[in-house]
Amino acid sequence: MSEAVITRLSRMARWEPDARGRMTRAALDLYAEQGFEQTTTAQIAERAGVTERTYFRHFADKREVLFDGGHELEAAVAATIAAAPDATDPLDVVGEAVASAVAVLEERREFAARRAAVVAATPRLQERELLKLAGLRDAAAAALRGRGVPEPDASMVAEAGVGAFRVGFEAWIASGQARPVADEVRSALAALRARARG
């Protein structure tokens, strides 16, 4: 290979736009094709046209590439909870905040479904997902306390809300996205309400 070609290729690779997006797509594709454990970060970097070092500058570890933007979700839910009218039932506040947040996944149906399949097949990715959900749960609980809900009520209502998020999302995926996600979430929470009346 001539030096000119090498120079040209390296220039393209260096500043091609959307390196993050390329890495995310490369990772999801590779994880789906050959499994998470069988994929190396070097492979992801190569397919995205960057070096391994660049990958680790964008993402903390091999898993984090599938969990970008989790912080925005958390902030959105907390803000929605905080902005709800006073005297609204806390369980409804959390339920609606979660339902509206999960609805944004509807715009990326295909991506969300592929990602969910990979996560479901990989314990180490489930761990990370659970940690993100725990962050969401803590943010929700803090927002509820900010509304005057005491403990342990705030924590338990937050647990229920995030639980509905998870159960509703899984039902949405399992059903081939038949009903809107938000409805699945509301159904899950309604079921708990009914059971809690015992």
Per CB under 7 A, 53 contacts DNA: yes
Exposure string for 109-147, b = 16+ CB within 10 A, e = fewer:
eeebeebbebbeebeebeebbeebbeebbebbbebbeee
The pair of structure tokens assigned to 22 is: 């390329």
CB of 22 to a copy of itself, least distance (A): 27
Interface with DNA (CB under 7 A), residue from 26, 28, 50, 189: 50
Detail the DSSP E strand segments found in the chain: none
Whose CA is closest to 183, among 108, 191, 77, 50? 191
- Contact window for a copy of itself (CB under 8 A) among 5-13, 72-80, 97-105, 190-198: 190-198
For DNA, the closer CB: 23 or 182: 23
Interface with a copy of itself (CB under 8 A), residue from 42, 134, 178, 179: 134
Contacts of DNA in 20-49 (CB under 7 A): 39-42, 49
Interface with DNA (CB under 7 A), residue from 25, 46, 47, 58: 58
Which DSSP state fits 108? G
Per CB under 7 A, 10 contacts DNA: yes
Whose CA is closest to 102, among 192, 191, 29, 187? 187
What values do phi and psi take at 88, rounded to 5?
Answer: -75, 145
For DNA, the closer CB: 40 or 175: 40
Interacting residues toward a copy of itself by CB under 8 A: 89-92, 123, 126-128, 130-131, 133-134, 151-153, 155-157, 159-160, 163-164, 166-168, 170-171, 187-189, 191-198
